[in-house]
Amino acid sequence: MDLNTACMKTLSIILAGGRGSRLKQLTDNRAKPAVPIAGKYKIIDFPLSNCINSGMRRIAVLTQYRSHTLNQHVQRGWNFLRSDFNEFIELWPAQQQTGGDWYRGTADAVYQNLAMINGLGSEYMLILAGDHVYKQDYSLMLKEHIESGADVSVACIEVPIQEADQFGIMHVDEDDNIIAFEEKPTHPPTMPGNPNVALASMGIYIFNTKFLCDNLRSDAKDDDSSHDFGKDLIPLFVGRCKIKAHHFSHSVIPNESYPQKPYWRDVGTLTAYWESNMDLTKLVPELDLYDESWPIRTAQYQRPAAKFNYNYEERIGTALNSVVSAGCIVSGSTVEQSILFNNVRVNSYSHVNKSVILPRCDIGRHCRLHRVVVDSDCRIPEGTIIGEDPAADSARFYRNSDGITLVTQDMIEALDE
């Protein structure tokens, strides 16, 4: 079977039902994969784009928690595939198809949709998280999976040994067979020949379809299981089947004009989310969004170009080392090392520094924002200062231990009560 045919016989399932509670109020009204990222995208655009660019065009997006904005985004921005070519991106909401329970874990989410999966006749299944930011050619991982004769392949990324206690860690032999799995270990196993790094699971799996379906049925009957791929099924498979580690570096998209080291971010915390956005303000970001050979797609709307107003001594509309999206107006203010999402307005005499301003926000005059994440549709009152007084920030907004302050419209309205 050639690789193109194998991709056509692969069903990609994106797990997009989680809340992402560690992102605090950013996920009060939206699922984590629907959180805006990188100026104009949503997090789910990255795995969806990877699928399309990899030639995998049979995709199911499994949704559950507060999925309206996610459903709307996928329907409006990802409806271009050809059904007559057996291509599709379908939304599969939790429907309690196997009983009265909602999705109880990542494995259970797939299990509850076995009827639809079996009807599609796939030979391979690609299981993805819908809340990571990265670029990967899944077809290269599939090629390695088929050639190795594996039942399961797990995408892994090298992490410094001192950070390994934050991940599920794979112990592999010289041939990349997984011989042990430990969830957030205190004393993690290191890579063969390199004692400074460990192999962390990325939550990306390729299964032979029949093998996975059989094991999902068995897992569903196990009352002691939490029905999760990382916690239950992957550890269970070790020593019982052929399970291989796929190095993320083997499927990174090559680009001679922009050499890239493997970039993958789990933006599951407020700090990680802020850092992932800040990465894009660097002179040469680690994640290249300007590569026309591997476009990151999203829903497109008609918006005017960004605009910069005034050129007086104390009133100059300017942005430095920043990403400014369509529809923005920087009016007599300074934006520095920040990201402005679509349709943001920053009014005169304000200074926005190292901040992430989500769509449709309005920053009033004489404001100063430093290391702030401002949620969508916020109206920051004139003269507001955030990021200079930790005690004041904690009393009014949400401020984490890393000094990142999150502001929502509800928090702003509560100031007047």
Annotated binding residues for alpha-D-glucose 1-phosphate, written as ranges, equal: 103, 168, 183-184, 201
- Work out the burial of residue 375: count CB atoms within 10 Å of its CB; fewer than 13 is exposed, 13-18 middle, 19 or more buried: buried
C-alpha 296/C-alpha 188 separation (Å) is 35
In the annotated binding site, the residues are 103, 168, 183-184, 201
Q: CA 342 to CA 292: how far, in whole Å?
A: 21
Q: Take residue 189 and report the two structure tokens written for it.
A: 């196993």
Report yes or no: 230 and 107 within 8 Å, Cβ to Cβ.
no
Greatest CA span in the chain, whole angstroms? Answer: 71
Q: Residues for the chain: how many in total? A: 417
- Smallest CA-to-CA distance from 148 within 128, 181, 177, 174 is with 177
Tokens of 369: 């924002």
Torsion angle in degrees (nearest 10) through CA of 382, 383, 384, 386: 140
Could you tell me the end-to-end alpha-carbon distance of the chain, in angstroms, rounded to an integer?
Answer: 66
d(Cα 336, Cα 56) in Å, to the nearest integer? 39
Which residue type is seen at 63? Answer: T
Tokens of 5: 């045919």
Q: Find, among 129, 185, 127, 131, the residue nearest to 159 by Cα.
A: 185
Are 271 and 402 in contact, with CB atoms under 8 Å apart? yes
Contact, 362 vs 412, CB < 8 A?
Answer: no
- Contact criterion met (CB below 8 Å) for 78 and 48: yes
Locate 155 and state its tokens.
């995408």
Question: Both tokens of residue 2?
Answer: 């050639």
Would you say 369 and 344 are in contact if contact means Cβ atoms under 8 Å apart? Answer: no
Give the Cα separation of 104 and 228 in Å (integer). 8
Closest CA to 202 of 235, 230, 173: 230
SS3 354: coil
In angstroms, the CA 19 to CA 405 distance is 20
